[in-house]
Amino acid sequence: MFRVKNNEFVIPGQLVGTDIRHDSNCFREGGNVYSSVQGLARIEDNTLKIIPSSGGYTPKEGDVVIGVVKDVLHGKWLVDIDASYPATMDGEEVTRNPQRVDLRDYFRVGDILSAKIFSVDEIHASKLGRPSKLEGGYIININPKRVPRVIGKNKSMVNMLREKTNSRIVVGQNGRVWINSANTAFVVSVVRKIEREAQTSGLTDRIEKLLNNA
């Protein structure tokens, strides 16, 4: 039995249901299920999900993230993905023979790349793959929990942003947004607005209006 309504705000330790299916943001004690974070409760497919309203990024398999190369090691790179855990990328991702070639020919310390997380182990250390270099542009950091809103359903929001402002934008699940635009300041202000108003409804329409008026 659910003890919260759909779209209700919950806080840590709040009883959200008894003998229900729930996600990893809840915990069970006996039959009772409690929320472990603050956020928005969603009931989907008879399962309770909590969408956290804050918190850092924890790497997840399949995520596309934006990283900054921190170090070039033997046959691999150490990449900063703004998580509290290390991420590495093997040289094999770009060359057949990473031991023989100079990896600096591909990525140097300080280079920016977008890559997919291929695997995450039990202590959250992740391996990246399929990198693409991002040259020029700027990176801004947003709340990782609000990234889905910046991307939008089927990437609708980010595609709209790209088209209307004629800019290149990559949104990483780790909360980093790479922007290469003639009018960076404007794009940044729009992304910030989406982040700020992530939990309001009718956001896409408002943003569309804003972009059309600009």
Partner 1 sequence: MKMKNPEIELIKNGKRLDGRNLDELREIKMEVGVLKKAAGSAYVEWGKNKVLAAVYGPRSLYPAFLKDPTKAMLRCIYNLAPFSVDDRKKPGPDRRSVEISKVSTEALESVVMTERYPNSVIDVYTEILQADAGTRCTALTAASLALANAGIPMKDLVAACSAGKVSGEVVLDPMKEEDNYGDADLPLAIIPRRNEVVLLQLDGRLTREEFDRAYQLAFDGALKVYEMQKKTLQDAMKKSAVVGD
Which residues lie near partner 1 (CB under 8 A)? 9, 11-14, 25, 27, 34, 36-40, 52-56, 84-86, 122-124, 145, 196-197, 199-200, 206
Exposed/middle/buried for 88, CB within 10 Å: 0-12, 13-18, 19+? middle
Nearest CA-CA partner of 69 in 104, 33, 39, 112: 112
Q: What is the DSSP letter of 83?
A: B
Could you give the CA distance from residue 207 to residue 157 in angstroms, rounded to a whole number?
9
Of the two residues 49 and 130, which places its CB atom closer to partner 1 in the complex?
A: 49
Q: How far is the CB of 54 from partner 1 (least distance, A)?
A: 4
Q: Which is nearer to partner 1, 81 or 103 (CB)?
A: 81
The three state secondary structure string of 170-199 is EECCCCEEEEECCCHHHHHHHHHHHHHCCC
State the minimum distance, in angstroms, from the CB of residue 72 to partner 1: 20
Nearer to partner 1, 42 or 130 (CB): 42
Residue with Cβ nearer partner 1 (25 or 181): 25
CB of 56 to partner 1, least distance (A): 6
52 or 137: whose CB is closer to partner 1?
52
In the complex, the smallest distance separating the C-beta of residue 177 from partner 1, rounded to whole angstroms, is 18
Residue 28 CA to residue 124 CA, distance in Å, equals 23
- Is 54 or 132 the residue whose CB approaches partner 1 more closely? 54
| H helix runs in the chain, sequence order | 147-151, 156-165, 184-196, 203-213
Whole-number Å distance between alpha carbons of 114 and 140? 14
**Cβ at position 196, least distance to partner 1 in Å:** 6
Nearest approach, Cβ of residue 111 and partner 1 (Å): 21
Helix%, strand%, coil% for the chain, nearest 5: 25, 40, 40
